[in-house]
Amino acid sequence: MSLQNKAALVTGSSKGLGKAVALRFASRGADVAINYSRDRTAADETPDRATACGVRAICVQADVSDVAGIEALFQTTLEAFGTIDIVVANAGIEKVNIPVVDITEDDYDLLFRVNTKGPFFVLRAAARHIADGGRIINMASSSTVRPQPGLGLYGTSKTAPKYLVRVLAQELGHRKVTVNSLLPGPIDGSGIFTGVSDADPYKKALLDTVPIGRLATAEDVADVAEFLAGDQSFFITGEEILMNGGSSN
């Protein structure tokens, strides 16, 4: 799939899932804006790998829970590339295995600031700045449709942006802009499973629920993000694509 002559902005793309998606877009010919919050060292390596694909890449620091920072991120991307054709609202924070009775107000404020407020205003900025015919992807979570003990706060914080996606799909349809949510399950080698072996009890328990026999990888998710970012997905909008290998959890 070619994304040549496109420009993509992926939030939280200096590492993990966001990095895999941004580099996949670059490998298909898209210029990419790499966003990071704090770790500049990790962030610097990603644009270097993107430019090795023969595209332009920039690295932009921005806290996506700060509305002014989001606007600056979009403006910097527009100044660099002249257009924004693809936006992936990926940045988020995981805080799991906490029973609801143990959740503190600070826990709540943190996750809703990053996982709910952040995507809301990233999606708002995308709606304002994306080119006609563009693609907007919200990175949600399988926990929003597969409730589990210990995921009450995390799953709740990831639920609201999915509703906004469905609204934006209707509001932006006349511009031929599609808006969809991806709902990955736990990602092997990323997030809370960075460096975690299959022998880990929590990971093993999850593996036992997946008929396919393994967790998703960042590359699996990049496969579907690539499809949603391309021309072939034109008639898919306002949808939620669950990627959990058929897990019963």
- Over residues 141-164, the pLDDT tens digits come to 999 998 889 999 999 999 999 999
Cα gap 59→114, rounded to integer Å: 20
What is the pLDDT tens value at each position of the chain, 249 positions in all?
799 999 999 999 999 999 999 999 999 999 999 999 887 777 778 999 999 999 999 999 999 999 999 999 999 999 999 999 999 999 999 999 999 999 999 999 999 999 999 999 999 999 999 999 999 999 999 999 988 899 999 999 999 999 999 999 999 999 999 999 999 998 887 777 887 888 888 888 888 889 988 889 999 999 999 999 999 999 999 999 999 999 876
Give the separation between CA 93 and CA 138, rounded to whole angstroms. 14
Distance CA 163, CA 86 (A): 20
What is the C-alpha to C-alpha distance for residues 240 and 249, in angstroms, rounded to an integer?
A: 17
Of 245, 229, 108, 145, the closest CA to residue 180 belongs to 229
Three-state secondary-structure class, residue 237: coil
| pLDDT of amino acid 180 | 98
Global pTM reads: 0.94
Burial class (CB in 10 A: 0-12, 13-18, 19+), 160: middle
Look at residue 38 in the predicted model and tell me its pLDDT.
Answer: 81
Contact present, 43 and 19 (Cβ < 8 Å) = no
- The whole-number pLDDT of residue 198 equals 81
Q: What's residue 248's pLDDT?
A: 73
pLDDT of residue 119: 98
- Domains of the chain are 7-236 (3.40.50.720)
Q: How much is the pLDDT for 213?
A: 87
At position 6, the amino acid (one-letter code) is K
